[in-house]
Structure 1
Amino acid sequence: MQQQSARLETRAGEALTLQGVRFTGTLRGTLFEAELEQRFANPFERHVELVYSFPLPWAAVLLGVEVRIGERCLSGAVIEKKQAEQGYEDALAEGNTAILLEQNFDGSYTLNLGNLARGETCVLRLRYAQVLQFEQHGLRLVVPTVIAPRYGDSVADAGLKPHQVVEHDLMAVHPLELTLRIEGELARARIGSPSHPLSMRLEGEGETAAMLVSLGRGGALDRDFILVLDEVAQDSLAVCAQDTLDEGAVNVLASFCPRVPAAAHPLAVKILVDCSGSMQGDSIAAARRALQAIIAGLREGERFSLSRFGSTVEHRSRALWRTSAATRQAGQRWAMQLQADLGGTEMENALASTLALAGDAEPSPGTEEGAAAVDLLLITDGQIHAIDRTVKRARALGNRIFVVGIGSAPAEGVLRRLADETGGACDFVAPGEAVEPAVLRMFARLRSQRMDALQLVWPTGAEPVWMSPLPGSVFDGDAVTVWARFAQVPHGWVPDQPVRLVGRMAQGDAPVALGEASLSAVEPHAVLGRMAVAAQVEQLLAGEGAQSLRAPEALALAVAYQLVSPLTHFLLVEARAEADKPEDMPDLVKVPAMLPAGFGGLGSVDLLYIEPNMAPLTVNDTPTAYGAPAAAGFGSFDMNALDAPAVMRSGARVLRSERRTQASTYDIPAFLRRGADRAADEPPRDDPRYWSAEPHYSGLTPLGLTHWLRSHTQAEWPRTYAALHRIGVGTAVLDWLEFVLADGEDEAQVVACFVEAMAQRELHDALRSTNGMLGRLKALTQRVRPAAAPEARQVEVASESLAARLQVFVSTLQAETWPDCVFALRDAASALERSGVGVE
C-alpha cells in the first residue's frame, strides 16, 4: 500500500495551492486598517509559478507587503511597472524565487509567486486601509473575497493580461478566518451582518470599549463579508496629518455629512433590471424583492418605466407610466415574474435604449422651468468587463444613474464608478438582506435637490497646493470625502477652525451651506498621509490622455511613498543556492477561485438576515401564474428552491409560455417537450405577423391571437388571465385587460368577452387583409356582444358596458401591433369610450 502524508485536497482530489486566508482589521471612526494573510503551498513534485488574482475593497490603499517563505522573512519594494516585470522574469530565468504583485487595469490584484519549490510554503501579508463612507446614518464595511465571472472579453474589454484573468472551479474550497476590532463610539452601534453569522464580544468600558467581531462558524472565499453598523452618530470631521517625506507639509482628510432638502418635484425614474445569466439564483430573487419594494414606494402621480436586459433589452412600456393603482399592480406582477434568462450582460446598449424611452417628469410646483430631468435606476450585479466603454457612454447620455448592487459578490468598483461618474449614487443588497432600508435610502437620494458648483471654504489664509475633486452631486445623509495637501501649516491655523462645504441648488443663485467640519490638531499619521498621496496619484491618472501627460509625476509619487498603482508593482527577489535552483522553468499553475454563493443558480446563500427592529420582507422565489393573488403583493420566501442548480430543478412551476427560454426545463428531454409545448397549428414565432419580439412587447400579435382562437375549439379557449398568458398573450395586454378594461368586473366575464371578440372570423380576415381593413373593423364593432347569460340583470349591464369599451378597442387593431392604449395603462377605463383614444 502506498502511504501518503495528510494534505488538503479539493472534492475532486486535487491538491490545494491556496490553503486559506486569514483577515484581521480595526475600525476607528471611518478609518479601517486591515491585514490580509494568504497561505500558499506547492504540493507538486516540481517547481511551480503560482498565479492568483483577488479583489481588494473599493477605494482601498495597499500600504505594505510582507512575505515569509518557509521560515525566511523577506521584504521587497515598489518600483516602476516595466522594471518590475522584467526583474521578475529575469529572476525566474536565473532559478531564483520571485514575487510580483500587480494592480490590474480593472482594479483587482494579481500575485505571481515564481519558483516555489516542492513542498515549500509561502505566507503573504497585505496591509491596506480605506475610509468608509457614511450612508444614510450608517456605515457598511465590505471585505470582498472573490471575483465573480464577468461577461465580455477580459482582454479586449477589461484590459487584462491573459495570466490576470480569473479561472473558477466549482469544486474549489478556500477557507476564510476573520476577526475585527471596532473601537470608540462605533462599539456601541447596532452591528449585524447579512452575509455571515457573527460572534461578538464587548471588551473594556467607557472610551476604551471595543467590540470584537468574528465569524460565528467557518467561512470560505465564496461571498463578500459585509458588516453593517446602524444608528451611528454621524458627524463631519477634518483630520490633519504630517507628511512622512515632505517636511512641514500637511495632508488633510475632510469628511462631511451634508443636509440637503428633499426635492419639490414628483419623481420620474426609468428602472432597468439586469436579467442576464449571472443573475440566476440568489441575485434575481433579491432583484425581485428590491423591485417590488421600489414600486411600492412610488407616490401617486410620480412616473416610472420598467425595462430588463441581458443580451437584448425588453421594455414593459413605450413611455413613462404615471403611478396609479393599475400601474403599481402591473409593475408588481412584472417584477414577480422576472427571470435571469436573457443571456449576456450588454449593459451599454441597455442604458442607451432605456434612456431613449419617451416620457418626462412633471414640472416642479411653482416653477417655470418645465419638467425635471428623468433619472435611471439600475438593478444589477455589475459583472461586466467593458466598464470603461459603458461609463463613457453613460456619461455622454447626460442622465444620473442610481445603482442597486445585487448578489453575494457584486462588482462594487464597477457599480460605484458608474454611479459616481454620472452624478448618481450606489447602494447594495446582499442575498437574504432586507431590501427596504436600501430602497428607502435610494428614494431619499432620488428626491434630494440637485446641487452644483460645490466648493470648500478653508480658513482665512489657507490655500491647498492640491485637492481631490469634489463630487458632481451630493445627497442628504451621504458622506462627501475630500483630500487636500498644504505645503506647510498655514499661519494662524489652530484646531477647531471650521472648513465649510457649500453648493448651489439647481436654478439657484445664492450658495447654500451643506456641512461644516472642525480641523483637528496636526499629528503624525503615516497611514493618512500615504492615503492622501494615493488619492493624488489616482487623480493624476484620471481622464483621457492624462496618463501620458501626468505619468512622470504620478510615478515619482507612487515610488517615493511605496504605493502599488497602475504604474508600479511590488517586486521581491530571493536568490537561491545553486544546488536549489531548478533545471527548467517552473510550471505555471493558476490558483482557481471559488464561484460566488448563489451565482448562476448554483446553490444558495443559506443565511437569512433580518435587520433588528424591522419586519422581514418575504417574497415569492418562483414565478406564479398570471392573475394568482398574493397577500399585499408578496408570498413566502423559499430558501430551498435554489439549493440545486437550475438545470436540475423541475420546470413544473414555470409557465409553459416561459419554458422555452428557461434553463429549468432542461430536465425534460427535447423530444418530449416538443409535442407538449407547441401544437402544429400554433402561430409560428418566426413570423412577425403572428408573434411580436419588440423591446416593449413579446407575445402574440392581434393576428396571432385570432389565428390561435380560430385554430382551436371553444372548449380549448382561455377562461382566465393565466390561460391567456399560457397561450402566448403578452403581459402588457393582460395588464390592460385586468387593470383598465375590466374596471372592476369579474375575470371570467372579461376574458370571455375579449376572447369572443377576438375570435370572430371577420376580424381574422380583416387583420389578414391589407386593403380596407379599418372600415371592416369599424363595422365589426357592432358585432361585439356580451358573453354572459342574461339571467342576472347586474351581470348583463356590466357586460354591456364591457362590450361598449371593446368596440373602440377592436376598431383600432392592427395585424402586427396592439393599440397604444395597451401600453399606456390609462388610469380610467372610461377613457376607452371616447373615440380615437386607442390611437393617440
Structure 2
Amino acid sequence: MTQTLEQPSGLYLQNSSEQIAFPLKHTEVKAKIAGNISRMEVTQSFENPFTTTLEAVYIFPLPDEAAVDDMLIRIGDRTIQGSIKKRQEALAIYEQARKQGHTAGLLEQERDNIFTQSLANIKPGEQIDVIIRYSDSLKFERGNYEFIFPMVVGPRYIPGIAIAENAVGGGSAIAPMTSNQDTDLVPDASRLNAPLLPAGMRSRHDINVTIEINAGVEISDINSPSHQIQIIREGQLVNVKLAGTDTIPNKDLILHYQVSSNNIQTTTLTQADERGGHFALYLIPALEYRPDEIVAKDMVFLIDSSGSQSGEPLMQCQKLMHRFIDGLNPDDTFNIIDFSDTIRQLSPVPLTNTSQNRSLAINYINRLNAGGGTEMLSGIRAVLNLKVTNPGRLRNIVLLTDGYIGNENQILAEIKQCLQPGTRLHSFGAGSSVNRFLLNRIAELGRGIARIIRHDEPVDEVVEKFFHQINNPVLANIQLQWEGKGESPIMYPSTPPDLFAEQPLVLFGRKPDARSGKLYVTGIAAGGKRYQHSFHLDFPQTGNPAIAQLWGRSRIKDLMNQMVSGDTKEGVKAVTDTALTYQLLSQYTAFVAVSDDIGVNPNQDSVSVQVPVEMPEAIMHEGIFSNITAGAAPGGARVTQRREMKKQSAPPPPAPMAAPALPKPLPQFEEIQSLAMESYIPISEPEIGFTDVDDSSNFYSLRLEIVNVTGLSPQMISLLAQYLQPIQLPRGFSGDLVFEFQVSRGRVRQLVLDEQASSLKEQTVIELIRRSLLAWLPPQTLTSTVLLILRIQS
C-alpha cells in the first residue's frame, strides 16, 4: 500500500496499519421552486487524499421522477461540459480517457432513483466538483406541497441464484444475503449498493441544502418532519436551509408548506421549442361526495418483516396496523400476511370485523419480529392469488415495506400481469430513506395510493386520511379528448388513474405541431354523474423549459413500465431516442465529460475507491448484517457483508389453524422455516430455481436449438449450445426467440428481445431463457455484439 497524504479534516477508517480518508468531502444542493416545478443543482466535491492518482465511484439517490438533463465537472477555474451519449458509448469514452490519463466523469442511472458517479484521474491533493442538474414536479394535494430530496441509498436485498463469477463454489449456489452479488434475477446487483460505514463511524462527507420557494402567493406552515431547518422570508420569497447541526446525509429531506390561493384547483404550464409544444396540467376536481357513504371492502395487509425492518421501521408498521384495524368499517373484512424468507398469514379466509377477530389481529401484529431476507415476490404472489370469497367487494391490498430490494421490475411485472380488475394495491413506506421508486410504481400499477411516513411520525392522521380517500373515490373512467387543428397531443400517463378525494390529476403532454386547441377531461363522478372540465392550451415560445424535460421523463417512465418483464428492442430504442432528444439520463444513456489535457501519467499506479455511505437513519446494522468490515485502499474500497439469516428470538404470532406441509426447504432456510412452522400459517412457495413452479412434472427439457448466431465463433456457439441445453422449459410452447446482446468483460450485457422477429410470446419461457443467458460467462477477452435466434420445439 502507498502512504496517504497529510490527512484533511474528518473521520477515518482504520485498515491494517494505514488510516484511510474517503474522497467525497461535501454535497451542496440548491433548489429553486416556482409553482409546481423545482429546478435542482447538486454539486459533489471530491478530493484525492492519496499519494497516487484516484478514481472515485459513488452510488447515490435522486428522486425517482427527476429529469436529469445536465452534468459537468469543475477543476479549479476550468469547467468541462458533459454530453449525453448512449450508455455503452459513454462508458467506452470514459474508459479510454481514464487509460490515457485524462480527467473524466461518467454519470449513469441504475434505477429510476439510483445513480452512479465515476470520476477518473484525480491527482493527489486535487479537488474536483461534479455538478448535476435536474427538474422535478412537486407532489401536492389542495394547497399542501411536498418537496423531497433523498440523501442515501438504503441497502438492497438481492434474491436469485448467484452468477458464478461472484459465487463461492460455482454458479448453482443460492446467493447469500449479500448486497453486492450479481444474480440471475438481479444481474446488476453489484451496482446497486455502496459499501456501508460500520455502526458508530462517520466519514467526513456532509451535505448542505438551500431551497428557494417562489410560489407567487403567500407561503405558510413551512415545516420538515425529517430535518432541522432555518427559514428566511423576503416578501413572497422564502429561503429554507438546513440547520448546521443536521448535515449527515443519512435520510430523505422532506419539506412541507402551504400556499394561499384560490387557483390551486387547476394549474396549466406550457412551453414550445423546435420539438413541439409541451404542457403540464395539474387538476384537483372540485367534486362533492358523501363523506358518510360507507363502501364495504375486503382489506388485506401485506407486511414486510425482513431484517431491514428491525427496530423503529417495524414498530412504525405495527402502529400503522393498529390504526388500520381500528379504522375498518363495520362491514369490512380483513386479513394479514407477512413475509421475509417465508410467508405467514393470520387466517386462510377473510375475517369479519368483530372484536374477537380484531383482538386476534392485534395479537398477531404485536408479535411480529424482523429478520431474514426480503423475498417480496413471494409475498406479492401470495396476496395477489388469495381467493376472493365475495366478488361484490372491492379488495384493497395495503403493502407496508421499506422497499429495500434489487428486483423491482420482477415485482412490478407480477403486479401488471396478475392484479385483478376488482383489486386496488396501495403502498405504505415506513422509514427515513425508503425506496420511493418501487412504492410509487406499485401504487401506480395497482391503481392505488402511495404513502411514505417516517419512522418517527404520528400515524393517526395518515391512516385516517388514507381511509377517507379510499372510501371516497371521486372520479373514475377518466378520458382525455383533444379538440383543435393539427396533430393530437401525446399525453402521459397514457391511461389516467382513478382519482381519490383531494388527489390531483397530473398530465404531461406534447403537441408536435405546437398548434393551440382545447383539452377535455371527462369522467364518472360519485353517484354516476358525468364530470367534464376543459382547458384551452396555447404554446408561446416563452415558458419554463423544464416542462419539455418533464414530458420526456414521463414518456421514458411509461416506456419503462411497458418493459418490466424485460428489455425489448423496440422499447429500448424508443427510450434511447427520447432520452437523446431531450438530453436526459436514462438506463440506456449516460453523461460523460472528458478534459482535453492529459493530467496524469497513464502508466503510473492509481487507486479506485468506492465511496462508502451512511446506514439510513433508524435502520439497524444488526438487522441487515452480522459482520461488517470497511476500508479504502489502493485497489479498491470494499465492505464485506453477510446478511442476518436467523430470526430474532421473540415468539411468533399464534396460528388459528394447523400449518400445511411446506415444499422441501433449501438448507440455509431450514432454521427460519422451522421457526415459522411452530406458530404461523405458512403459504406454500416454490423452491428457488429456474423452474419457479410447484409441479415440476409440467417441465421437461424441450428441444432448444440455436438456429443462427452472429458475433460468436463456432467454438463459442458450441459452448453456448451446451450451456443452454439443461434449461427446463414448460410443455406446450413452440416458436422462435430472437435476442440481441453485448458480450464484454466476461458477461452478457444489454440483453434485449426482438419482439417483432420472435414468434414465441410466452413470458414464462422468455424469462427462463433470459435469466439463463444473463448468467452465462463467456471468456473475459471476448467483446462482441451478438444476434441469437433460438427455436423451441415440443
On whether the aligned pair clears a TM of 0.5, the verdict is yes
Deviation, structure 1 residue 63: 2.3
Deviation, structure 1 residue 51: 0.7
Q: Name the SS of the counterpart of 1:442 in structure 2.
A: helix
CA 1:161/1:329 → structure 2, altered by over 3 Å: closer, same or farther?
closer
CA 1:325/1:582 → structure 2, altered by over 3 Å: closer, same or farther?
same
Identity %: 23
Q: Deviations over 1:203-243 (max 9, x none)?
A: 12xxx443434336231111111112357653221111112
Greater Rg over alpha carbons, structure: 1
Q: Deviations over 1:146-204 (max 9, x none)?
A: 00111114634344263554221222432111111122256523221111112212212
State which of 377, 386, 391 in structure 2 corresponds to 1:348.
377
2:565 matches 1:533: no
Pairwise mapping of residues 504-523 of structure 1 onto structure 2 (< 5 A)?
Answer: 504=524, 511-513=530-532, 519=537, 522=540, 523=542
2:551 matches 1:549: no
Q: Name the SS of the counterpart of 1:24 in structure 2.
A: strand
Partner residue, 1:54: 60
Partner residue, 2:434: 410
Given that residues 5 and 51 in structure 2 are in contact (C-alpha distance below 8 angstroms), is that contact kept between their aligned partners in structure 1? Answer: no
Deviation, structure 1 residue 110: 0.6
Q: In the aligned structure 1, how far is the partner of 2:245 from the partner of 2:683?
A: 47
Q: In the aligned structure 2, how far is the partner of 1:416 from the partner of 1:228?
A: 19
Deviation, structure 1 residue 323: 1.5
Q: Name the SS of the counterpart of 1:219 in structure 2.
A: coil
Partner residue, 2:346: 316
Q: Name the SS of the counterpart of 1:566 in structure 2.
A: coil
State which of 613, 618, 621 in structure 2 corresponds to 1:598.
618
Q: Deviations over 1:330-369 (max 9, x none)?
A: 333333333213x1111111122234444545xxxxxxxx
Pairwise mapping of residues 354-753 of structure 1 onto structure 2 (< 5 A)?
Answer: 354-358=383-387, 360=389, 371-398=392-419, 399-449=423-473, 452-461=476-485, 463-468=487-492, 469-490=494-515, 493=517, 499-504=519-524, 511-513=530-532, 519=537, 522=540, 523-544=542-563, 547-577=568-598, 580-584=600-604, 586-600=606-620, 691=678, 693-695=680-682
Q: In the aligned structure 2, how far is the partner of 1:187 from the partner of 1:157?
A: 50
Q: In the aligned structure 2, how far is the partner of 1:128 from the partner of 1:549?
A: 27
Q: Name the SS of the counterpart of 1:27 in structure 2.
A: strand
Pairwise mapping of residues 772-787 of structure 1 onto structure 2 (< 5 A)?
Answer: none
The one-letter code sitting in structure 1 at the alignment partner of 2:206 is P
Pairwise mapping of residues 104-503 of structure 1 onto structure 2 (< 5 A)?
Answer: 104-105=110-111, 107-135=113-141, 138-153=144-159, 155=182, 156-160=184-188, 162-163=190-191, 165-170=193-198, 171-173=201-203, 174-184=205-215, 187-204=218-235, 208-215=236-243, 217-230=245-258, 234-243=264-273, 245-246=274-275, 249-258=276-285, 261=289, 264-341=294-371, 343-358=372-387, 360=389, 371-398=392-419, 399-449=423-473, 452-461=476-485, 463-468=487-492, 469-490=494-515, 493=517, 499-503=519-523
Q: In the aligned structure 1, how far is the partner of 2:353 from the partner of 2:189?
A: 48
Deviation, structure 1 residue 596: 0.4
Q: In the aligned structure 2, how far is the partner of 1:232 from the partner of 1:406?
A: 30
Q: In the aligned structure 1, how far is the partner of 2:296 from the partner of 2:560?
A: 39
Deviation, structure 1 residue 55: 0.8
Given that residues 135 and 479 in structure 1 are in contact (C-alpha distance below 8 angstroms), is that contact kept between their aligned partners in structure 2? Answer: yes
Q: Name the SS of the counterpart of 1:189 in structure 2.
A: strand
Q: Deviations over 1:719-740 (max 9, x none)?
A: xxxxxxxxxxxxxxxxxxxxxx
The one-letter code sitting in structure 2 at the alignment partner of 1:179 is T
Partner residue, 1:8: 10
Partner residue, 2:32: 26
Partner residue, 1:711: none
Q: Name the SS of the counterpart of 2:147 in structure 1.
A: strand
CA 1:500/1:441 → structure 2, altered by over 3 Å: closer, same or farther?
farther
Given that residues 77 and 571 in structure 1 are in contact (C-alpha distance below 8 angstroms), is that contact kept between their aligned partners in structure 2? Answer: yes
Deviation, structure 1 residue 129: 1.1
Q: Name the SS of the counterpart of 1:374 in structure 2.
A: strand
Given that residues 203 and 212 in structure 1 are in contact (C-alpha distance below 8 angstroms), is that contact kept between their aligned partners in structure 2? Answer: no
Q: In the aligned structure 1, how far is the partner of 2:365 from the partner of 2:220?
A: 35
**Which 5+ residue runs of structure 2 have no aligned equivalent?**
160-180, 624-642, 655-672, 685-794
Specify which structure has the higher proportion of strand: 2
The one-letter code sitting in structure 2 at the alignment partner of 1:527 is A
Q: Deviations over 1:251-300 (max 9, x none)?
A: 11111113564675212210111111000122112111111111121122
Q: In the aligned structure 1, how far is the partner of 2:104 from the partner of 2:157?
A: 32
Deviation, structure 1 residue 378: 0.7
Q: Name the SS of the counterpart of 1:533 in structure 2.
A: helix
Given that residues 105 and 160 in structure 1 are in contact (C-alpha distance below 8 angstroms), is that contact kept between their aligned partners in structure 2? Answer: no
The one-letter code sitting in structure 1 at the alignment partner of 2:84 is V
Deviation, structure 1 residue 372: 2.1
Q: Name the SS of the counterpart of 1:293 in structure 2.
A: helix
The one-letter code sitting in structure 2 at the alignment partner of 1:81 is R
The one-letter code sitting in structure 2 at the alignment partner of 1:269 is M
Q: Deviations over 1:684-742 (max 9, x none)?
A: x9799x95553289xxxxxxxxxxxxxxxxxxxxxxxxxxxxxxxxxxxxxxxxxxxxx
Given that residues 448 and 476 in structure 1 are in contact (C-alpha distance below 8 angstroms), is that contact kept between their aligned partners in structure 2? Answer: yes
Normalised TM-score (structure 2):
0.70
Given that residues 652 and 679 in structure 2 are in contact (C-alpha distance below 8 angstroms), is that contact kept between their aligned partners in structure 1? Answer: no
Given that residues 235 and 256 in structure 1 are in contact (C-alpha distance below 8 angstroms), is that contact kept between their aligned partners in structure 2? Answer: yes
| Greater relative CO, 1 or 2 (CA 8 Å, sep 6+) | 2
Q: Name the SS of the counterpart of 1:339 in structure 2.
A: coil
Q: In the aligned structure 2, how far is the partner of 1:585 from the partner of 1:538?
A: 42
Partner residue, 2:743: none
CA 1:302/1:136 → structure 2, altered by over 3 Å: closer, same or farther?
farther
Range moving further from structure 2, 8-17 or 526-535: 8-17
Partner residue, 2:636: none
Deviation, structure 1 residue 576: 3.2
The one-letter code sitting in structure 2 at the alignment partner of 1:324 is T
Q: Name the SS of the counterpart of 1:194 in structure 2.
A: coil
Deviation, structure 1 residue 105: 4.2
CA 1:32/1:118 → structure 2, altered by over 3 Å: closer, same or farther?
same
The one-letter code sitting in structure 2 at the alignment partner of 1:190 is D
**Which 5+ residue runs of structure 1 have no aligned equivalent?**
362-369, 604-645, 660-684, 698-840
CA 1:277/1:550 → structure 2, altered by over 3 Å: closer, same or farther?
closer
Given that residues 256 and 480 in structure 1 are in contact (C-alpha distance below 8 angstroms), is that contact kept between their aligned partners in structure 2? Answer: yes
Specify which structure has the higher proportion of helix: 1
The one-letter code sitting in structure 1 at the alignment partner of 2:601 is K
Deviation, structure 1 residue 657: 7.5
Q: Deviations over 1:747-766 (max 9, x none)?
A: xxxxxxxxxxxxxxxxxxxx
Given that residues 172 and 592 in structure 1 are in contact (C-alpha distance below 8 angstroms), is that contact kept between their aligned partners in structure 2? Answer: no
Deviation, structure 1 residue 131: 0.7
CA 1:505/1:43 → structure 2, altered by over 3 Å: closer, same or farther?
same
Deviation, structure 1 residue 457: 3.4
Q: Name the SS of the counterpart of 1:419 in structure 2.
A: helix
Size of the aligned set, in residue pairs, is 601
2:77 matches 1:36: no
